[in-house]
A and B are shown apart, each in its own frame.
Chain A
C-alpha cells in the first residue's frame, strides 16, 4: 500500500473537525433525472428577481475550482456549477451522471472503466470528454492541491476514446465509487488557459447553473444555464448565496424575508423557526460521526476495564438529548445511520453495547484496574459547545465515581489538532472529536482506527492496539475491507471490526449532526441532503418559488 493513499473520505479540518453542520459536501449534487421545465431567464445575473432563490450559508465560499477547493461553503456553491461522473440519489446511493452506467471493474478491483455520455457539454459549449476526466483526476495530485489526497489512490488514467475513461489504481480500493462521485469534471482547455480566473472569476462546468459574480464575504450569484445538457433543467432563474455567520441574525433574515433559505438552525432557534408560520425546517442527518476517544497508548485508559468504567460513568443518551438534539441524533457506532442502513449493518446489536449509567459498577472497575482516586484526569475538547458538553458529562461522571481531579480543557483548533494525536498521557486521557466523509464505511473506520503511517498519530489519536491484540486485529480487518471490492465480504469485515472496537471501547460513539435548513413555505421542493448538504435540481427534486 502506498504511503500516500488517502481517499475521498478524508475530510479536511475546515470541513469536518470544526463541525460545520453541513457535513462534507464531498461530491456534486445529482443533476440527472427527468421532468422539470425551463423558463426564460433575464440573463442579467443580477441580484433579486421574483424567481431568484436567496440562500444564507454559514460561511463565505473561498474559491470555485474543484481541483483546488477544499471547504464546505465553496463545495456548496460549486456543486451547482460542476458535475461528476456519478452523483448521489436522495440519500447515499450512487447513480450515474455523466457516466452512462456502473463502472466496469476488473483486475481484482484495480481497474475501473467508465463509459460516458456523449451529450454532456460544458457551459462554453465544449463536449465533456474522457480527456477532461483524466485531467480533473490528475490535476490535484500534479499540482499538490489541498484536496490531492482524495484521488491519490489512482495510479494512472487512460482516455481510451472520447467517452471511455480507464482508471488503474495503485491497490484495490473498495470505496473508489465514492471518489468517482466526489470528483467534479473541469474543462481542461479552459482551466489551463487561466487557472486563477477559472477559480474565482469564471469557473466553467457542465452543471445546471453557471457562475455570474462573486464578492468574497458578500455574495455569490449563479444563474440557470439555459443550454444545460441534462435533466431536469432548474425551475428557478438563479441563486444568490450570502454568508451570515451569526445564527440569530441568520434566523432573522429568514423571518423578515431577506433570505428564502438559511443553513444550519441552532438548537435554541428550532422552535423560533417552527413558530414562524411561513417557514419550516428541512433536515437530514449528515454523513458524520462525533465521539469520545480514549488514549490507548499511555495512562490508565490503556486498560479496557478503565474504558468500560468510564462508559459506566456517563449516560450518553441523556447527554446527547440535553446538548445535541434537535440539531443532531444519537449514534451508536462510527457509521452514520444512512451508511449503516445502506449496508444492512447490525445497528440493534451495536445499540446494546454501551452501558447504562452505573457509578457503583464504575467504581468497582476502577478499583479492579487500580486507578488511584487522586489521579489527574485530562479530557481535551475542541472549541465547540456540543463536544465540550460531552467532555463535561464524562468529567461529572468521573467526579461522582470519586475522582476529584478531572479537567476538561477546551482548546483552540490549532492547539487541539497538535495535541490529540500525540498519544501522551500528559496531553490527554480522552478527547472528543468529529469526523465526516464519503458515505462508505471505509471513511469512518480506516481513519479512526487505522494503524499505518497515514492514520496513527495523524487522524487516529487513540493508538488503539498499542496495548492490545484486539486493536491490531481491528486495524487488519479494516485494511482488508478497504482493499476488497466484494461488498458482502467487506460488510462482514466491518461488522467484526466495528463490534470489536465498540466492545473494547476504543471510542464511545456519541452523535451525528443534521444538515438543517430553514425554508420559507413558498420555496417548493427544497431537499437537504446527507452528503451534498442540499440539492436544488436533481433527479428527485427541482426547487421552485411560489411567492
Chain B
C-alpha cells in the first residue's frame, strides 16, 4: 500500500509542475513575435477574413481570458483546435504519441542492452584495451549530435550499402494491407523492425554512451566495497561476485539516469524524426512552432512534460525492485 500511496503522492505533486509547464508555455507562446493568423492566411487577407479566423480560434480574447479558458479546457482534456491542421490537438497527439513512444522504447532498449554489458566489461577489465574501447565508444556517443549520426547512418546503410531504408517507418501494429509487401502481422512487425534499426541507433547512441559511463563507474564503486573484498577473501569466483553481489547493487545510479535521460531523448526525437521522416511528436512540435500554431505548441509541450513526469515517477518506483532497502513509508 505504501508504494501506491507514494505513487499517488507523486502524481499529486506533479500537478503544480504541469501547471507551471502550461503557464510558462502559454506566456512564451504569446510573447513570440508574429501573428498566427497572418501566417495562416498569407500576406493579404481581408480584415473580415482575419477577424473571422480570430473569432473562430478565440484569438480576439484578452490574454488572461484565453489562459483561463485554456486551463478549463485542459482539465476537460480538450487541448483545442490546431490552427495549422484544422483538427483537434488531441487527435494529432493521439496519432503521433505512439510513434514517438515506440521510438523511445526501442532506443532505450538498444541503449540498455548495449550499455550494461559494455559498462560491466569495462569495469571488470579496467584500464585494459576493452575498457579503452568502451570508453572511446561512450565518449563518441556523448559528444556526437544525433542528427549527424542519423545522416551518417543514412549515407552508409541506406545510400551506400542499401541495407536499411531511410524513411517510411511503419508501425508494428499496422494492418498488413497498409504495409508494402506484407501479408501477415508477423511480416508487418519484421518490416517495422527493419525500418526501426537506423532511427533507434541514432536516438539510442547518446543514451547508450551516458549509460555506459554510469554503469562503469557504478560497477567500479561497488567492486571496491568491503563486502566484495570479503567475498573475494572467501574465495567466491569473480563471475559469481559480479552476477550475485555487485551487479544488482550497481544499478541504482543507472535507473536514476534513465529517468533523467528522457528529456534528452525527447529532444533527440525531434531531430531523429526529422532526419528519418518519422511522423511523431517531434515533427509535430516543429510544425507547430514554425506555424505559430500556439494551441498545438502548448498541447505537445504539455504532453512532453507529462511523459517526463511519468518517466521520473516510474523511475522512483522502480528503485524498490532493485534495492529492497528502499522504502516508500512516510517514516523514511
CB distance from A268 to the nearest CB of B (A): 13
Complex formed: what's the CA distance from A248 to B277 in Å?
11
The residue that A417 contacts in the complex, of B39, B96, B151, B162, with Cβ under 8 A, is B39
Scoring A63, A213, A217, A454 by chain B CB atoms within 10 A of each residue's CB, the highest score goes to: A217
For residue B88, CB closer than 8 A to chain A, the reply is no
User: Could you give, for residues 342-362 of chain A, a 1 whenever the CB lies within 8 Å of some chain B CB and a 0 otherwise?
Assistant: 000000000000000000000
Residue A201 at the chain B interface, CB threshold 8 Å: no
- A372 sits at the interface (CB 8 A): no
By the criterion CB–CB under 8 Å, are A252 and B159 in contact? yes
Q: Are A458 and B43 in contact (CB under 8 A)?
A: yes
A491 interface hit (Cβ, 8 Å): no
Stretch at the interface among A3-11, A109-117, A227-235, A363-371: A3-11
Given contacts A256-B158, A418-B35, contact A12 B167 (CB under 8 A): no
Cα–Cα distance between A70 and B291 once the two chains are bound (Å):
14
Whether, in the assembled complex, B275 has its beta carbon less than 8 Å from a beta carbon of chain A, the answer is yes
Question: Residue-by-residue, is A136-148 near B (CB-CB < 8 Å gives 1, otherwise 0)?
Answer: 0000000010101
Identify the closest chain A residue to B46 (Cβ). Answer: A4
Cα A455 to Cα B46 in complex, Å, equals: 11
Residues of A within 8 A of B45 (CB): 146, 149
Q: Which of A393-437 contact B (CB under 8 A)?
A: 411-418, 421
| A243 in contact (CB, < 8 A) | yes
Q: How many A-B residue pairs have CB under 8 A?
A: 143
State whether A417 and B48 are in contact (beta carbons under 8 Å apart), knowing that A48-B180, A252-B158 are contacts in the complex.
no
CB of A447 within 8 A of CB of B44, answer yes
Shortest CB-to-CB span from B199 to chain A, Å, is 11
A interface SS class: loop
B275, A412: Cβ atoms closer than 8 Å: no
Interchain CB contact under 8 A, A217 and B279: yes
B165 CB–A CB distance under 8 Å: yes
Distance in angstroms between the alpha carbons of A454 and B159 in the assembled complex? 49
A245-B277 CB under 8 A given contacts A11-B42, A253-B166: yes
Q: State whether the Cβ of A46 lies closer than 8 Å to any Cβ in chain B.
A: yes
Q: Which of B84-113 contact A (CB under 8 A)?
A: 84-86, 95-96
Are B34 and A414 in touch, CB under 8 angstroms? yes
Docked CA distance A449–B287 (Å)? 32
Give A461 Cβ to nearest chain B Cβ, in Å.
9
CB atoms of B34 and A412 under 8 A apart: yes
A46 to B86, CA, bound (A): 27
- Known interface pairs A46-B177, A148-B49, A418-B33. Does A256 touch B166 (Cβ–Cβ under 8 Å)? yes
Contacting pair A256 B42 (CB below 8 A): no
By the criterion CB–CB under 8 Å, are A14 and B42 in contact? yes
> Does B33 lie within 8 Å of A412, measured CB to CB?
yes
A411 to B159, CA, bound (A): 35
Whole-angstrom distance from the CB of B92 to the nearest CB of chain A?
A: 8
B216, CB-defined interface residue at 8 Å? no
User: Is B178 positioned at the interface, with any CB of A under 8 Å from its CB?
Assistant: yes
* B275-A414 in contact (CB<8A): no
Contact of B43 among A13, A242, A412 (CB under 8 A): A13
Looking at the complex, which one of A12, A48, A249, A414 makes contact with B277 (CB distance below 8 Å)? A249
Q: A13-B38, A256-B158, A256-B166 are in contact. Are A246 and B275 (CB under 8 A)?
A: yes
B167 and A6 within 8 A (CB): no
Q: Is A255 an interface residue (CB 8 A)?
A: yes
Q: Are B34 and A413 in contact (CB under 8 A)?
A: yes
The contact of B86 among A6, A14, A63, A248, by CB within 8 Å, is A63
Contacts of B178 in A (CB 8 A): 46-47, 213
In chain B, what residue has the closest Cβ to A143? B52
Instruction: Identify whether the interface residues of B are mostly helix, strand, loop, or mixed.
Output: loop
Q: Which residues of A contact B181 (CB under 8 A)?
A: 48
Quick check: is B146 within 8 A (CB to CB) of the other chain? no
| Interface positions of B from 20 to 73, Cβ below 8 Å from A | 32-36, 38-46, 48-49, 52
Tell me if A278 is interfacial: C-beta within 8 Å of chain B. no
Query: Would you call B44 and A256 a contact (CB within 8 A)?
Result: no
Contact A415 B42 (CB under 8 A): no
The answer to whether the Cβ of B185 comes within 8 Å of any Cβ in the partner chain is no
Is A307's beta carbon under 8 Å from chain B?
no
Q: List the B residue with the shortest CB-CB distance to A6.
A: B44
Contact (Cβ within 8 A) B39 A249: no
**How far is it, in angstroms, between the C-alpha of A252 and the C-alpha of B86 when the chains are bound?**
32
B304 in the interface (beta carbon within 8 A): no
Minimum Cβ distance to chain A for residue B78 (Å): 19
From 140 to 186 in chain B, residues with beta carbon under 8 angstroms from any chain A beta carbon are 151, 154-155, 158-159, 162, 165-168, 177-181
Indicate which residue in A258, A414, A459 contacts B39 across the interface (CB closer than 8 Å). Answer: A414
Q: Are B276 and A249 in contact (CB under 8 A)?
A: yes
CB distance from B316 to the nearest CB of A (A): 35
A150 to B158, CA, bound (A): 43
Query: Does B34 contact A415, Cβ atoms closer than 8 Å?
Result: yes
Question: Which of B158, B277, B291 is in CB contact (< 8 Å) with A243?
Answer: B277
Q: Which residue of A lies closest to B162 (CB)?
A: A256
B-chain residues with CB within 8 Å of residue A459 when the two chains form the complex: 43-44
Q: A149 — which chain B residues lie within 8 A by C-beta?
A: 42, 44-46, 49
Contact B167 A258 (CB under 8 A): yes
| B283 contacts A by Cβ under 8 Å | yes
B44 engages A413 (CB within 8 Å): no
- In the complex, A412→B35 CA distance in Å? 11
Assess A144 versus B49: contact at CB under 8 Å? Given A249-B275, A418-B33, A459-B44: yes
A159 within 8 A of B: no
| A252 & B154 in contact (Cβ 8 Å cutoff) | yes
Cα(A412)–Cα(B38), bound, Å? 13
How far apart are B42's CB and chain A's nearest CB, in angstroms? 3
Q: Given A13-B38, A252-B155, A256-B162: A246 and B274 within 8 A (CB)?
A: yes
| CB closest residue in chain B, given A152 | B46
**Chain B residues in 8 Å Cβ range of A458:** 43-44
Which of B42, B52, B95 is the one whose CB lies under 8 Å from A216? Answer: B95
Q: Which 3 residue pairs across A and B have the least CB separation, nearest first?
A: A414-B34, A12-B42, A217-B279
Given A13-B43, A216-B279; 18 other pairs, CB 8 A cutoff: A12-B40, A12-B41, A13-B39, A46-B177, A62-B84, A148-B49, A245-B283, A248-B275, A249-B167, A252-B158, A253-B167, A255-B159, A412-B32, A416-B34, A417-B38, A417-B39, A418-B33, A454-B44
Chain A residues within CB distance 8 Å of chain B: 3-4, 6, 10-17, 46-48, 56, 62-63, 70, 144, 146, 148-149, 152, 213, 215-218, 242-246, 248-249, 251-253, 255-256, 258, 411-418, 421, 447, 454-455, 458-459
A-B contact pairs, 5 of them (CB 8 A): A46-B180, A149-B46, A246-B277, A258-B167, A413-B34
